[in-house]
Structure 1
Amino acid sequence: MTMQIIDAQSPEAHSADLKAENIDKLKALFPELITEGPNGVAINQDVLKQLVGDATVTDADEKYGLNWHGKRAARQLALTPSTGTLLPYPDESVDWDSTQNLMIEGDNLEVLKLLQKSYAGKVKLIYIDPPYNTGKDFVYPDNFQDNINNYLELTGQIESGQRISSNTESSGRFHTDWLNMFYPRLKLARSLLKSDGVIFISIDDRELNNLRTLANEILGEENFIATITVVTNLKGRNDKKHVAACHEYVVVYAGANFKSNGLPLTDEQRAAFKHTDENDFKYALRDLRKRGGPDKRQDRPNMFFPIYWNEESGRVSLERLTANDLEIFPMRGDGTEGRWRWGQDRVKKHLSWMHPKRSDRNGRLDVEHRVYLDPSIAVDDLDEDDEDDEGAVERTSKPKSIWIGGEFSTDSGKRALKELLPGESFDFPKSIDFLRTCFLLGTSGNEIILDLFSGSGSTAQAVMQQNAIDGHSRRFICVQLPEPLDPSEKTQKEAAAVCRKLGVAENIAELTKERIRRAAEKVKAENSMFSGDTGFRVFKLNTSNIQAWNPNPENLDQALFNHQDHLVTGRTETDILYELLLKLGLDLCVPIEQQQIAGKTVHSIGGGVLLACLAERITRDQVEDLAQGIVAWHKAQAPASDSTCVFRDSAFADDIAKTNLAAILNQAGIKNVRSL
């Protein structure tokens, strides 16, 4: 078996091809849909109409939804694979060898594409704080052919004549530009979300309606949770003509299997647990009758049944045991039949928790049940008739749709930022407590939180602070564009000075990284017993390590000679290694080990799932020892899945050396042997 080459056209050199994946899914369900078109595989629309019935096919110009100029191109943009990569920068990182956190510098559209293989379906919470479309310039143009090169030009990393066009209300494309920017990013973000994950999107009045319609289309209207009003400025902002705006919104959507963690009980709520049982456990009393819709008998017929109470002895049962037993049904306030919260089986198991009562006002009979505060009292006996959200142990409370308090204010966000960084580069930094509240509702344990527009780095600080509070090990992935700072601008002068003092490029991403570093030190200083992860790995978006074939017709011989080694000159083994992780779908924080075998450095990633030897020269004499050493190490690691072994193609003295090495590895069970 020969060694296959990974070149610029190979699937491994690209991010996930979502279009091809969609076609494969359709082919698996309806093979008759697939046909051949002028550009290869195509979908037969006539067959599709027959399969779904013509009546379900709507006129493209007359259908419910949100449409705008450029939507088709925006959808296509989300499906176009990226040929870029993320280069590692250990020197700019904190605790590179041990951290599970990521700070990625780059255009989040390209970054999202590059993360698809490694993080699809693995992110528990996505927070998005996009540009609010206030008439300022966008730094996220997507109408270009060479995405990576254009990104490097716009961010000043290569010589450029590019300019960023304004998005003023008088331009005629005010909403269109914003939608074209946001659509592909939200579509790609959705692919990363776990089935029990949740997305929080901050927004103001200008694009709220468009965002809701757009999110309904991409995320599914059935997955909408709430639009929460967050009071950010009680005094109100005077930039509105007629009304001083006091609030923003956060729109929440979730996966089909999402279940909210709720919020910690306040002191006032805990005070309601004033009763004590025979074991000294604190409990409160809650109505057993369901209140609020759906609370009628016809809504849940099985949850309408009598409970019997002997008022003299206090005995509660589901059967009449004496003639003096009082029969209690769940009757609504208007006298109609209601329903209980719990089914008969659960009530029967917890009869001692039932507290019938007679109203002091009208003598009406009702039933309350115990709700315990102590988490050691487990209740795992839900049956199909019970309400999942009405358990008998109350550790948390359900959040309200309005979040109000000084801790959620913009001023709170500014104070937290100014404690760490001077200047006014970030107009409305998010409150740490606001973000912690989102994270409390949606995450726990070792779960990933992704922030697509990281700005000042508030999300990273909030994750570290919350982990220090509750002992969990949430991970963050922060993405930020290295938008250049302008020292001549009053609001950016101090921030640019900070960058100069640090000796780094004068851009927003550098401030993000520095804020995270300083926030980590603050968290450790304020929580001396906390030993959790306060580091992060820095990666930066750049062109792929694999050169595309781009011949010069005037000097084809030289072009062929230059392409003998189709890896970019100047890139390190580490650069290439992390591109392999991305393109083969491995976590960017996966453990990497090294061994010296036959005088060559061999890397083992993920316990042997990926083996790589990127030495620049491998002779015939070294092949046998190198191959056998790799085989022995592979057996010792015993990876759970098939392994891939990768070499530098130009390293081999000749094809014989390459073929012999591949043959030895194949015979030992390593079937995926590739070269770069």
Structure 2
Amino acid sequence: MEKINELTSENIVQQNIERLKEIFPTAFSEGKLVVEELQALVGEYIQKDKEFYQMTWAGKTEAQREANKISTGTLRPSKVESKNWDSTGNIFIEGDNLEVLKLLQKSYSNKIKMIYIDPPYNTGKDFVYKDNYKDNLNNYLELTGQTDVHGRKFSTNTDSDGRYHSNWMNMIYPRLKLARNLLKDDGVIFISLDDIEIANLRKICDEIFGEENFINNIIWEKKYTVANDAKYFSDNHDHILMYVKSKEKFEIGRLQRSEEMNSAYRNPDNHPKGVWKATPLQAKSGSDSKFQHTFPNGVNWSPPQGRFSAYSSNTLNELYNKNEIWFGADGKSTPAKKTFLTELKNTGVVPRTILTFKEAGHNHESKDEIKKLFNSGTFDTPKPTKLIKLLQTIANIGDNSIILDFFAGSSTTADAVMQLNSENGGSNRFMMVQIPELTNENSEAYSEGYKNICEIGKERIRRAGELILTGIKDKKEIDKLDIGFRVFKLDSSNIQAWDTSVDKFEGQLDIFAENNGDHIKANRTEEDVLFEILLKYGLELTLPIEERSVRESKIYNIGFGSMYICLSDIIKTDVATAIGEWHRESSEANPSVIFKDSGFANDADKTNTVQTLRQAGIENVKSI
């Protein structure tokens, strides 16, 4: 039986090395990467001159290293704060998103279809998490008051700081680097921001996602009123940067036609195809710059100078014979093609680079949504659900996709996902990540009992889900809609780590003895360890989990037989027998079985357990 010595997040550096070895085996000598050889293989010369185009800032190297570090943390389940735990596919994670993104690397790599984030805008008043790269997990536990009795406060990033922009860039860089790994090949990321850091963000995203995968800088009209007290301009828009993982594999979603768009279509000649709109016959490009055509009614036409005909002469005659060319009311005007609405209804409309408040909502609307749910303004800067729903359509979200927001705030994204599912019958899932930033003691949220932003986000999902259900009349649709979520909280590993320094070694032995040789921390539950194992093995956190008991031992069946786990303190061969019988009910060919090593009274029990599982056709047996 193989022993699992440690549970850590994905080792991204080692993963990258293995990929390079597969593609460029000659770039390695005695296991070491030869950079010059790699550059030669991709046809590049070594850059001798230090003066070349690059984006850099104070702390960038450390931020790059941080994105590649592994995490020794875990995500502990909180059933009491969850909703519909056993049936939901949605997740809310409370913790520093940098560490959480590291922990999600194994389980959700290449699985996220869409990411939307609304990070701090760096106005000088926003909270900006200043990472302590030396020990980021402990830094988080201290900041949230979990290990520091003084409960240190989160800080802001003021423009008087000598590294004002660098601090923000060091915060966002490793998070985006890790986020890219989670995107599917046809995945897309949207990032909301204002003018302060948009130029820096664009360069960072060009580096991480590739300039070639930039789609657009979308302008969202966030206000419908004019601020007449503005010194220069009324600030009426935000930016939404849109990048994809691969332009070659991404297909943009088209938007629904509005009644206003359809109103431009008429039928003055009572054409049997219905209403139509006249569209030009010319195009921007072509091959014949001297094209001319005479229609059967004697009208001569040639495209304007610098333009080309969009159709051949044969096609123009065919359109004429079908009465699909319009020559104006007098029958002699410049010809145009009749484009029928019936031909466009199923194609949708290409998104525009400007999203108006009428189609995407505005700030007042988003605050009204919060007031409707909470009867007060519990959150100051939410985004409207209409905006996030529109972005989901643009992202071309398919059914059963995962939408991630790791600056979740009040959980607008979760609300929008549930709303859109209720409207189109979809079954898309959300994953929210939010650090428990404390609410202001003078705020409405604090007075109503919400001590941190996570509490607001979780409660919004609960209330929004119930509100959505009230608008559904079909019971089948009600039963289908997922308005639940599993709550997890970032914490240190459940496994007791050994500290072999001389001054602490004796204390470590005492702890180990008190726990009867058990490496699992005394204050952690079986379910805590269970989900750490899922993260270790790259299994999703919402997989179905069944339980069966054999005497005093509980057995967990993960994902309909893909893994069996027993973390009991007393493990006998009857546990293995029960797992073998359970395995016969499954179609899984090669399941894993994991035991707690200290649960075996002796080596004989361990050996007999392994042999019993082998007789049932299970070979992959490990222990922690």
Q: CA deviation at 1:236?
A: 4.1
TM-superposed CA distance for 1:428, in Å, is 2.0
Deviation at 1:509, TM superposition (A): 0.5
Contact 1:288–1:368, Cα closer than 8 Å, also in 2: no
Q: 1:288 to 1:363 in 2, by over 3 A?
A: closer
Deviation at 1:277, TM superposition (A): 13
Counting only pairs closer than 5 Å after superposition, residues 68-217 of structure 1 correspond to structure 2 as 68-136=57-125, 138-160=127-149, 162=152, 164-217=154-207
Distance in 2 (alpha carbons) for counterparts of 1:472 and 1:252: 23
CA distance in 2 between counterparts of 1:277 and 1:84 reads: 71
Residue number in structure 2 paired with 1:266: 258
Aligned amino acid, residue 260 of structure 1: I
CA shift at 1:151, angstroms? 0.7
Q: Give the deviation of 1:89 after TM superposition.
A: 1.0
Tell me how far apart the structure 1 counterparts of residues 167 and 138 of structure 2 sit (CA, whole Å): 21
Q: Which residue in 1 is equivalent to 2:390?
A: 437
1:485-500 aligned within 5 A: 485-487=439-441, 490=442, 492=443, 494-499=444-449
1:122-157 Cα shifts (integer Å, max 9, x gaps): 111110100000113645222232222221110122
Shift of 1:416: 0.9
Quick one: which of 4, 8, 29 aligns to 2:23?
A: 29
> Shift of the alpha carbon at 1:476?
0.9
Alignment equivalent of 1:534, drawn from 478, 483, 487: 483
Contact 2:278-2:336 within 8 A present in 1 as well: no
Q: Which amino acid aligns with 1:212?
A: R
Asked if 1:543 is matched to 2:492, the reply is: yes
CA distance in 2, matches of 1:399, 1:283: 23
Residue by residue, what CA displacement relative to the aligned partner does 1:397-437 show, whole Å, maximum 9, x if unpaired?
A: 22222222356221111111122235555332111211221
2:241 corresponds to 1:251: yes
- The amino acid of 1:586's aligned partner reads L
Q: Sort the Cα spacing of 1:143 and 1:93 in 2 relative to 1 into closer, same or farther, 3 A.
A: same
**Match of 2:2?**
4
**Preserved contact between residue 139 and residue 483 of structure 1 (Cα < 8 Å):** no
SS of 1:156's partner is: coil
- CA distance, structure 2, for counterparts of residue 510 and residue 649 of structure 1: 37
Task: Provide the rounded CA distance (Å) in 2 between the counterparts of 1:350 and 1:562.
Answer: 88
Q: Distance in 2 between matches of 1:507 and 1:243?
A: 34
Matches within 5 A, 1:295-314: 295-298=284-287
Q: Which residue of 2 aligns with 1:611?
A: 564
Q: Which runs of 5+ in 2 are unaligned?
A: none
Q: How does 1:46-65 map to 2 (within 5 A)?
A: 46-53=36-43, 55=45, 57=47, 59=49, 61-65=50-54
SS at match of 1:636: coil
Q: Is the alpha carbon distance of 1:281 and 1:358 closer, same or farther for their aligned partners in structure 2, counting shifts above 3 Å?
A: closer
The 1-side partners of 2:529 and 2:269 are apart by 64
What is the percent sequence identity of the aligned residues? Answer: 40
Query: 2:76 aligns to what SS in structure 1?
Result: strand
Report SS of the residue matched to 1:398: coil
- Taking the aligned partners of 1:441 and 1:102, their CA distance within structure 2 comes to 23
1:19 — aligned with what?
A: 13
Per-residue CA deviation, residues 340-377 of structure 1 (Å, 9 max, x unaligned), is 4x999x9999999782344668655554454526xxxx
> Is 2:587 aligned against 1:638?
yes
Query: What is the Cα deviation at residue 193 of structure 1?
Result: 1.1
Offset at residue 495 of structure 1 (A): 1.0
Tell me, what secondary structure is at the counterpart of 1:199?
A: strand
Which secondary structure state, in structure 2, belongs to the residue aligned with residue 420 of structure 1? helix
Q: Distance in 1 between matches of 2:317 and 2:184?
A: 37
Does the 8 Å contact 1:597/1:630 carry over to 2? no
TM-score under structure 2 length normalisation: 0.89
Verify the 8 A CA contact 1:482 1:507 in the aligned structure 2. yes
Aligned pair partner of 1:521 in 463, 466, 470 = 466
Residues 1:249 and 1:633: Cα distance change in structure 2 (over 3 Å): same
Give the direction of change, closer, same or farther, for the CA distance of 1:595–1:335 in structure 2 (3 Å limit): same
CA distance in 1, matches of 2:332, 2:175: 59
Q: 1:355 corresponds to which residue?
A: 324
Stretch moving more, 592-601 or 537-546: 592-601
Corresponding position of 1:590: 543
Q: Are the aligned partners of 1:286 and 1:371 in contact in 2 as well (CA < 8 Å)?
A: no
Task: Name the CA distance, whole Å, in 2 between partners of 1:112 and 1:178.
Answer: 18
Q: 1:205 is paired with a residue of what secondary structure? A: coil
Partner of 2:513: 561
Query: What amino acid is the match of 1:449?
Result: I
Q: CA deviation at 1:269?
A: 2.1
- RMSD over equivalenced CA pairs, Å: 3.4
Matched residues in 1 for 2:269 and 2:555: separation?
64
Tell me, in whole angstroms, the C-alpha distance in 2 between the residues paired with 1:354 and 1:195.
45
Give unmatched runs, 5+ long, in structure 1: 312-323, 374-391, 501-505
